[in-house]
Structure 1
Amino acid sequence: MTNAYIEDFSPGHGTLAPRAWHPASNAKALSLNGSWRLRVSPTADAEDESFAEPGFEAGHWAEVTVPGHWVLQGDGAFGRPAYTNVRYPFPVDPPRVPTENPTGDHLRTFDLPEEWPADGGAVLRFDGVESCARVWLNGTGLGEFQGSRLPHEFAVGHLLKRTGNVLAVRVHQWSAGSYLEDQDQWWLPGIFREVTLLHRPPGSAGDFFVHASYDHRSGEGTLRVDSEVDGRVRVPALGIDVATGEAVTAPVRPWSAELPVLYEGELATAGERVPLRIGFRTVELTDGLIKVNGTALLLKGVNRHEWHPETGRTLDLETMRQDVLLMKRHNVNAVRTSHYPPHPAFLDLCDEYGLWVIDECDLETHGFGEQGWRDNPVDDDRWTPALLDRAARMVERDKNHPSVIIWSLGNEAGTGRGLTAMAEWIRGRDSARLLHYEGDPNCRDTDVYSQMYASHAQVEQIGRRLDGGPRRRRELPFILCEYAHAMGNGPGGLADYQRLFESYERLQGGFVWEWIDHGIRHPELGYAYGGDFGEELHDGNFVCDGLLFPDRQPSPGLIEYKKVIEPVRIEGDGADRTVRVTNRHDFADLSALAFEWSYQVDGETIETGPLSVPVLLPGESAELKLPAPERVHGPGETQWTVRAVLTADTAWAPAGHEVAWGQLPVAALPLPLVRPTAGPVAADGVIALGPAAFDARTGALRSIGAVAVSGLRLDLWRAPTDNDEGLDWHTGIRHAGPWRDAGLHRLRHRLDSVELGEDTLTVRTRVAPAAAEFGLATEYRWTCEGERLRLAVSVRPDGEWPVPLPRLGVRLGLASADAVRWFGAGPGEAYPDSSTAARLGRHESTVDALQTPYLRPQENGARAGVRWAELGGLRIEGDPEFSLTARRWTTEQLDAATHLTDLTAGDTVWVNLDHALHGIGTASCGPGPLPQYQLLAEAAEFSFVFTELHNS
């Protein structure tokens, strides 16, 4: 069978041994990226191999761009993407794959540049092909390989011609290697990373290993470069000029993610000069902690799949740089390369800008968990050579990056002998880094105890070393390699996790899942997710769970995360004008930051000035006195805001970029008072109360002055978030399902009475779902002082409520509204357990801009802590505050939509004024809201004051 290699346990044949990757040298390199010819066949054997012969006529074939995925090109002519999370999209029968195996034959002709040297050899390099490839050059078969996110090279110098070279590559979507790559992402075949021809002159460097350690006690670094080919190592800034293999020690500045000092050097052999960027640092497991340069780390990380909404896993350098800059600007200090080694240039950027990296092997067999891990490849010796090949290709390619401090064996692949073999090989090759693998509960093969989505209570137990388990595990540091599932609205509970990380030294942080939504740009849907391409098996929008939207705009979750993990803590007593500044960096002092204060009255900044903060070392704090305001201001809500900003441009952000901030309240806002000056009067079917008109039969509000109001009544429902829809891993509780079962999305409002008192209009109702015996006895009490109309709402549970409430407040419709002004938290959305980043002040927006564009529409856009808001001709005051939401569609329309394009603006703006909201949590994958953020059905009373705006 000529295609037997597709179902071969081995990683391939004919490729060169893996080696260190470097971006450039004085050797010639010819990029073979660009336009290729492509023919896609439905099966692996639908076409013979004649296309690889010189002279084959492929002019009628389609043209595609390499690097790229063929299913993302050609408007569906070459097949379509498919998404699954855990389940394999083919029968589980390892190493067999379906006969229906889309196969792409790729052709590229090229000439050698005139300056291409005549001496030496050449190497053909593929940086990433999914999932299996067979390669020919000028009709000669070079070999085949598996391992999609890993580099593969062939020696081709003896086959090259000056002109008319024909490179043929047959790529199969499915192979035995697909069983090792079940990584919760789109299945996207193709040559998706660069293809390069490298000249290898006589005496070229080959493989090399840069060992650059740092002694934090002496301040000296020790450098040794081991090289396959003898040569010399030069680092001019350190005066180093030594032979390869020779160690040399010198005073150096160490590398860290906060202070990424790199020394430019070169490895010079007889035929090549390879540029080196050397970062001196030492990684250790000491005192049960991950330490770098003698200091324990607190990892504030993200999991990063590679993604672009148009090109999939094909990323250019600027997109990768954009990712790194966004991470740095949002206080992220670490990346787990889930679940495969990234493009090698990304690690160059991590070295340059400063990020700690857990580099993860291209290995996940999650689908075997569906059958109790029976036949799992990592516990089958026939697969071990492929596992070792993947480990070696990762380690050899990336071993010279100072940013890489931990190797990860893979993800969600169960346990087995193959993983142990990988761990033993890696330790034998590189003993200067630590090993991670979350799926090793006994930590037999790892140096770090790791879990996913542990609850806050579990994390605290682990921090207190009360978690039990094997003794070795109890002595290891702990990280959450995945937590705070950033799917849709959320994640909630980030600040609560961070408090635990900062309270127990064993807890060395975690990595939010994940960096970016994997939406695919779509002409009708905006962005597509699982099922939008007709997949018969898919996992819906579970692929959209990032801190960035697909266009790389930060989500509210990323804004929240930035605040939660900020490296400077600003706290204090505003009334006493005392501020405490704490440096929470691991390595950097505060010399790069300037501090400034501002004084606000009712959300308006009245005075500003600089704040002199000493240069605090990591872990140090200082208590400082804020100046007294220069003049006395009138009554109102007063506070101080203190900001920490960059004093000068850095590589990752301009001067003035805000790193951290804190607000210190001084005096609370006086509550609005409404002393009744008029009573309700009924005439001609209308009840008049000051500026307001009500329906005399139902008591429903019709207008306030000239502003028409419709549908004002108690509201309990929200369009469930992805986290509402999820199952809490730890309690087994769902929220959205029981909410629907209880009928909270179809409440009935029974009118019991409309009562006209001397100065009060009272409307009594019972709010309850059909088919249920429980409900809420609800009263609306209206009073008026001049043009100010006060609504007091009281609710009392009737019967036994089986579920918490999604929300508690009133909803009303306005005939028109666009501009929105408010004094409260903002500028972005905030919910009870995701409100750390909400800053108290005066904010402005439009109704449209209040919406958060989650790919699957859901509850969004609430502005918390609102003291007053102005929109649609009304000023609405809280008593004392409320949560504000305004939309051009109803909650029911939002709930029914599956994509943003399903939402059509109506003639009415629907406004929610909420007394309270249920928390968000992260139960789309993990724990739900903590008890203190759950909204129980209890007796409550809340009030609002409405005034018509005459100059709006």
Structure 2
Amino acid sequence: MKAVPSRIGLVVILLSLGMLNALKAQETQRQYLSGTDKDHTVNWEFFINTGMKSGAWSKIPVPSNWEMQGFGTYNYFRDTQNPDETGQYKHQFKVPASQAGKTIFIVFEASMTETEVKINGKSAGPVHQGGFYRFKYDITDLVNTGADNLLEVTVKKRSSNESVNQAERKADFWLFGGIFRPVYLELLPRTYIDRIALDAKADGALRIDVYPVNLPAGISIKAQVQTLKGQPVGLPFSVKTSAGQIIAGLQRQVKGVQPWNPETPDLYNLLVWLTDAQGRVVHRIKQRFGFRTAELRPHDGFYVNNRKVVFKGVCRHSEWPESGRALSKTLNLADVKLMKDMNMNAVRMSHYPPDQDFLDICDSLGLFVLDELTGWQAKYDVEAGRKLVKELVVRDVNHPAIVIWDNGNEGGWNTALDGDYQLYDPQKRLVIHPWEKFNGTDTKHYPDYNYVMNSVLYGKEVFFPTEFMHGLHDGGHGAGLDDFWSLMRRHPHFAGGFLWSFADEGVSRLDQNGKIDVQGNLAPDGIVGPHREKEGSFFTIKEIWSPVQVDLKLLPVNFDGKIPVTNDYLYTNLDKCVFEWKLVSLPSAGSGATTETTDASKKMTGPSLAPGSAGMLSLGLPANWKNSDVLYLTAFDQYRQELFTWSWPIHMPGMIKPVVKAGAKVGASETDSCVVIAADGMSYYFSKRTGNLQQVVTPKATVALSGGPVVAGVKHTLNKLNHFASGDTYVVEISYTGPSLFNVKWTFSPGQAAKLDYQYAIRGEADFAGITFNYPEELVTGVRWEGRGPYRVWKNRMKGQQFGVWQKNYNNVITGESWEYPEFKGYHADLFWATIQNKQSPFTVYATEPGTFLQLYKPLKAAGAANENTNPLFPEGNIGFMDAISPIGTKFQAAEKMGPQSVKNVQLNAPVKGSLWFDFR
């Protein structure tokens, strides 16, 4: 039975509720006129003057980019079509009569590019120029409370200010139009706090710049730091003001705070309120923030909280295929989680400020942010730029994640604006010019390996390229990153770098039946696809940038269960991490299964290793650990998110062989053109002209494996073909003449698969090395294999893949132009066996040598590729067993410019010897 509150208790409760309601009434209230994001919209009336669906009034969801709703014209890079495209919006709204006497602002989070606003037929204020910035108008005197009001907005894609067009609409990205972020009213008391700007140092020193409006006499400004759960941190503090004062400063040393960093992103709330002479609350705001100190130390590095940091970052466009730049909190959260999943700790806003949601998530999940003023390769003029710098900094100044301001990009900086950032930023954050040596930094874009080497040897500036490893198609990003990162880390003033870019900028074209348009080679630069499909480089980056580093390529013969680990965190001891090992048995080639069996596993806390130090992790494996096939080791961070999983085969290839069955005597015969070996009901045809296998006829079907073996990339001619019985076996020996050694031996034994032994040599440099066969591509349906997967590898992108048994169906994907990942075609590492699934009869090939690559056909050249950098050479044969493979380049650099792993292969003096088993049974 519940207790009945006393009359006094009821009075106390009612008074408390009254105080809460009164306090709430003095907080800023927001009334949305549009929806809140791309998935929650409000229809407004809309008219566009040209392009799709032009010339008549209709409805459009707000927020949105109008092209993505079927209006107007799609343009990339510059407004070449319908440059004077203009949209007109109308919307009726009411402000409750209870809000009479309030100050009312209309706020646009962003509208591109030039926006004119009217309320009830009257101008709300000057036309706003600039498409990526929050702006607002005081419409108190224009609004009729308790009655209908008409909002009219005219949005032009191109601005009347040509510098705005040069900065924003002649740029390497999609040029959309429309009101693409929310529109809302802010309702405030007559005396209110317009904004605050914080400087919250890592040691708890807190400075607050408060900007009050319409202050009468007798007003005090008070502040209180709280935890996110509302618990006070220290005592409130205050300052008295004078009538008409427009800025006031508060300072406090807050004890016992936890500094913000991307590994432990601790946050607090700050309450700031105005009280009158009677102590009544006039207006109150709440700001989430973090304590942290960010500074450049010239000729040293970039420091956050007195710790030298390394940015592991990526450049990110705000875009989604079906909605353009109109996004949602859900999408922004997913993007930050993907970055964190790649072990990134930083993101650069390219080339404009993002949604506020995105920055909030960077604060809460932990990413350093470089926030950027638009200006791709051209600058705003001083008048327009000054207004936009203010809008950028005023909106974003209190985010602890933001540690650097970018004043434009690649020549798009107006140096007259460099000092403007500090006018609104009490933290005095560093201002850089991405691409330029400026302000003690070298942020060179797309340095080649030699540039990095020279910077390591002679560079004086703090080095962090704000774009590098250009990820066009499947080149860059992971390809070459291992070499670049290892070399860059030797720079005495190294501060990391930012990959270009996060996602392919693909747009679903309503005028092309929903086709994803990536504008040739201009936009498919991502680590993930337009819908965030993961490329192989995603996992390479994840391994290279893991804050736990494991440098153990193979298990040594005398492996004692100890793994060398390095703590690559900036702030976190490794004992905050958890490790888990698993011993796993893999399914066999003949089983058709891909499900593994866990034989044993164990979780353990990491060793106590400070950031930057190395040590050993003792696994404590069971005595019978060698009975399993694979050892997996997974590292989890302090939030139990996976950092990476390393894998090592316990046995070597060659220990797994085809099953021996009862078999009949092997025989041979000849035709005019072929030697035919009959073994266990199958017939193997060898050309008398070339010595190559021509086909295999099984009881089920004819398998059209032919044209091999040949040495990849080398032309040989048949010297001699011998075939003879040797006891129960039958042998086919083939020797060749040509520029280098090449000999082949086939052995056929009763009840066994066919065995191929070969040796070859190559001279000088080679793009690849190995032996190949041909099998008709139109007959292939898939592949099942034991080795590293599921993604293909390049010579300069070996990291990131797991050892196991994988299944992959055939596809003809071109990375960055279609997105059915992982791609079927290409090289696959550490082959043990592979079953080529096809429309005739599947067959399995077993490798016997460690380090064998399986080559599956040749990826198609991207239609948008302007050069051969991302189209490496492949052998003429389409199924190969390779000892060396090709690297891949980037949009701007051929592979040979990208470091040691990217140069061509050179064979040592000894010939290559290998063996394969071919099982057609």
Give TM class, smaller chain: 0.7 to 0.9
- In the TM superposition, what whole-angstrom CA distance separates every residue of 1:326-357 from its partner, at most 9, and x where no partner exists? 11222111010011111122111111111100
**Against the structure 1 CA distance between its residues 794 and 31, is the aligned structure 2 distance closer, same or farther, given a 3 Å change threshold?**
farther
The one-letter amino acid of 1:247's match is Q
**Against the structure 1 CA distance between its residues 528 and 506, is the aligned structure 2 distance closer, same or farther, given a 3 Å change threshold?**
same
1:455-534 superposed matches below 5 A: 455-464=448-457, 466-467=458-459, 474=460, 476-491=461-476, 492-522=479-509, 527-530=515-518
- Alignment partners' CA distance in 2, 1:567 and 1:632: 28
Normalising by structure 1, we get a TM-score of 0.76
Partner of 2:68: 72
Partner of 2:272: 267
**Against the structure 1 CA distance between its residues 661 and 551, is the aligned structure 2 distance closer, same or farther, given a 3 Å change threshold?**
same
Q: Which runs of 5+ in 2 are unaligned?
A: 1-25, 36-41, 214-219, 227-231, 240-248, 275-280, 588-595, 725-729, 866-876
Query: What is the SS of the residue equivalent to 1:348?
Result: helix
Q: 1:386 aligns with which of 378, 384, 387?
A: 384
Q: 1:139 aligns with which of 96, 105, 121?
A: 121
Partner of 1:839: 802
User: In the TM superposition, what is the alpha-carbon distance from 1:190 to its structure 2 partner?
Assistant: 1.6
Pairing 1:129–2:111 present? yes
Tell whether the 8 Å contact from 2:771 to 2:880 is kept in structure 1 after alignment: no
Pairing 1:559–2:539 present? yes
User: In the TM superposition, what is the alpha-carbon distance from 1:642 to its structure 2 partner?
Assistant: 2.2
Partner of 2:58: 62
- Alignment partners' CA distance in 1, 2:138 and 2:521: 43
- Alignment partners' CA distance in 1, 2:731 and 2:433: 66
**Against the structure 1 CA distance between its residues 309 and 776, is the aligned structure 2 distance closer, same or farther, given a 3 Å change threshold?**
farther
**Against the structure 1 CA distance between its residues 897 and 515, is the aligned structure 2 distance closer, same or farther, given a 3 Å change threshold?**
closer
**Against the structure 1 CA distance between its residues 762 and 815, is the aligned structure 2 distance closer, same or farther, given a 3 Å change threshold?**
farther
**Against the structure 1 CA distance between its residues 516 and 582, is the aligned structure 2 distance closer, same or farther, given a 3 Å change threshold?**
same
1:736-775 superposed matches below 5 A: 752=718, 755-758=721-724, 760-761=731-732
Partner of 2:16: none
Query: What is the SS of the residue equivalent to 2:337?
Result: helix
- Alignment partners' CA distance in 2, 1:943 and 1:924: 37
Tell whether the 8 Å contact from 1:301 to 1:335 is kept in structure 2 after alignment: yes
- Alignment partners' CA distance in 1, 2:449 and 2:898: 10
Query: What is the SS of the residue equivalent to 1:424?
Result: coil
- Alignment partners' CA distance in 2, 1:716 and 1:462: 44
- Alignment partners' CA distance in 2, 1:562 and 1:152: 39
The one-letter amino acid of 1:334's match is A
1:349-360 superposed matches below 5 A: 349-360=361-372
Pairing 1:166–2:137 present? no
**Against the structure 1 CA distance between its residues 817 and 805, is the aligned structure 2 distance closer, same or farther, given a 3 Å change threshold?**
closer
**Against the structure 1 CA distance between its residues 204 and 926, is the aligned structure 2 distance closer, same or farther, given a 3 Å change threshold?**
farther
Partner of 1:247: 251
The one-letter amino acid of 2:696's match is S
**Against the structure 1 CA distance between its residues 632 and 808, is the aligned structure 2 distance closer, same or farther, given a 3 Å change threshold?**
closer
- Alignment partners' CA distance in 2, 1:412 and 1:898: 24
- Alignment partners' CA distance in 1, 2:769 and 2:68: 39
Tell whether the 8 Å contact from 1:337 to 1:358 is kept in structure 2 after alignment: yes
Q: 1:329 aligns with which of 322, 341, 354?
A: 341
**Against the structure 1 CA distance between its residues 283 and 932, is the aligned structure 2 distance closer, same or farther, given a 3 Å change threshold?**
closer
Query: What is the SS of the residue equivalent to 2:192?
Result: coil
1:302-313 superposed matches below 5 A: 302-313=314-325
Partner of 1:863: 828
Tell whether the 8 Å contact from 1:583 to 1:619 is kept in structure 2 after alignment: yes
**Against the structure 1 CA distance between its residues 212 and 915, is the aligned structure 2 distance closer, same or farther, given a 3 Å change threshold?**
same
The more displaced of 251-260 and 582-591 is: 582-591
Q: 2:233 aligns with which of 210, 217, 238?
A: 238
User: In the TM superposition, what is the alpha-carbon distance from 1:114 to its structure 2 partner?
Assistant: 3.1
Q: 1:918 aligns with which of 877, 886, 905?
A: 886
- Alignment partners' CA distance in 1, 2:58 and 2:223: 48
The one-letter amino acid of 2:436's match is D
- Alignment partners' CA distance in 1, 2:376 and 2:636: 42
Q: 2:706 aligns with which of 712, 732, 739?
A: 712
The one-letter amino acid of 1:875's match is T
- Alignment partners' CA distance in 2, 1:478 and 1:183: 26
- Alignment partners' CA distance in 2, 1:322 and 1:109: 32
Tell whether the 8 Å contact from 2:694 to 2:707 is kept in structure 1 after alignment: no
- Alignment partners' CA distance in 1, 2:507 and 2:653: 47
Tell whether the 8 Å contact from 1:482 to 1:513 is kept in structure 2 after alignment: yes
- Bigger Rg, structure 1 or 2: 2
**Against the structure 1 CA distance between its residues 592 and 624, is the aligned structure 2 distance closer, same or farther, given a 3 Å change threshold?**
closer
RMSD (Å), alpha carbons: 3.7
The more displaced of 934-943 and 590-599 is: 934-943
Partner of 1:28: 30
- Alignment partners' CA distance in 2, 1:272 and 1:436: 37
- Alignment partners' CA distance in 1, 2:423 and 2:513: 51
Partner of 2:845: 876
User: In the TM superposition, what is the alpha-carbon distance from 1:551 to its structure 2 partner?
Assistant: 1.0
User: In the TM superposition, what is the alpha-carbon distance from 1:402 to its structure 2 partner?
Assistant: 0.6
User: In the TM superposition, what is the alpha-carbon distance from 1:202 to its structure 2 partner?
Assistant: 1.2
- Alignment partners' CA distance in 1, 2:771 and 2:158: 51
- Alignment partners' CA distance in 1, 2:778 and 2:747: 23
**Against the structure 1 CA distance between its residues 717 and 879, is the aligned structure 2 distance closer, same or farther, given a 3 Å change threshold?**
closer
User: In the TM superposition, what is the alpha-carbon distance from 1:112 to its structure 2 partner?
Assistant: 1.6
User: In the TM superposition, what is the alpha-carbon distance from 1:149 to its structure 2 partner?
Assistant: 0.7
**Against the structure 1 CA distance between its residues 684 and 29, is the aligned structure 2 distance closer, same or farther, given a 3 Å change threshold?**
same
- In the TM superposition, what whole-angstrom CA distance separates every residue of 1:630-677 from its partner, at most 9, and x where no partner exists? 22746x9x6643221256xx4xxxx4x321333467664447899999
- Alignment partners' CA distance in 2, 1:717 and 1:764: 12
Tell whether the 8 Å contact from 1:645 to 1:658 is kept in structure 2 after alignment: yes
User: In the TM superposition, what is the alpha-carbon distance from 1:185 to its structure 2 partner?
Assistant: 0.5
Partner of 2:418: 423
- Alignment partners' CA distance in 1, 2:893 and 2:115: 35
Identity value in percent: 23
- Alignment partners' CA distance in 2, 1:716 and 1:399: 64
Partner of 1:188: 176
- In the TM superposition, what whole-angstrom CA distance separates every residue of 1:117-159 from its partner, at most 9, and x where no partner exists? 1112211112222222222221112321211111121111111
Tell whether the 8 Å contact from 2:721 to 2:734 is kept in structure 1 after alignment: yes
Tell whether the 8 Å contact from 1:778 to 1:794 is kept in structure 2 after alignment: yes
Tell whether the 8 Å contact from 1:150 to 1:393 is kept in structure 2 after alignment: yes
- Alignment partners' CA distance in 1, 2:754 and 2:283: 82
The more displaced of 935-944 and 324-333 is: 935-944
Tell whether the 8 Å contact from 2:480 to 2:902 is kept in structure 1 after alignment: no
Pairing 1:365–2:377 present? yes
Partner of 1:286: 297
User: In the TM superposition, what is the alpha-carbon distance from 1:685 to its structure 2 partner?
Assistant: 5.5
- Alignment partners' CA distance in 2, 1:631 and 1:154: 74
Partner of 2:83: 101
Q: 1:782 aligns with which of 735, 743, 746?
A: 746
User: In the TM superposition, what is the alpha-carbon distance from 1:713 to its structure 2 partner?
Assistant: 3.1
Query: What is the SS of the residue equivalent to 1:844?
Result: strand
**Against the structure 1 CA distance between its residues 326 and 943, is the aligned structure 2 distance closer, same or farther, given a 3 Å change threshold?**
same
- Alignment partners' CA distance in 2, 1:365 and 1:504: 28
The one-letter amino acid of 2:721's match is E
**Against the structure 1 CA distance between its residues 811 and 683, is the aligned structure 2 distance closer, same or farther, given a 3 Å change threshold?**
closer
Tell whether the 8 Å contact from 2:575 to 2:606 is kept in structure 1 after alignment: no
Partner of 1:433: 429
Pairing 1:155–2:138 present? yes
Query: What is the SS of the residue equivalent to 2:646?
Result: strand
User: In the TM superposition, what is the alpha-carbon distance from 1:301 to its structure 2 partner?
Assistant: 0.5
- Alignment partners' CA distance in 1, 2:126 and 2:706: 72
Partner of 1:740: none
- Alignment partners' CA distance in 2, 1:715 and 1:919: 23
Q: Which runs of 5+ in 1 are unaligned?
A: 1-23, 48-57, 91-97, 367-376, 468-473, 532-539, 719-743, 768-774, 900-908
- Alignment partners' CA distance in 2, 1:354 and 1:477: 23
- In the TM superposition, what whole-angstrom CA distance separates every residue of 1:346-405 from its partner, at most 9, and x where no partner exists? 111111111100111112235xxxxxxxxxx56xxxx22222222222111111111100
Q: 1:41 aligns with which of 26, 49, 55?
A: 49
Tell whether the 8 Å contact from 2:795 to 2:901 is kept in structure 1 after alignment: no
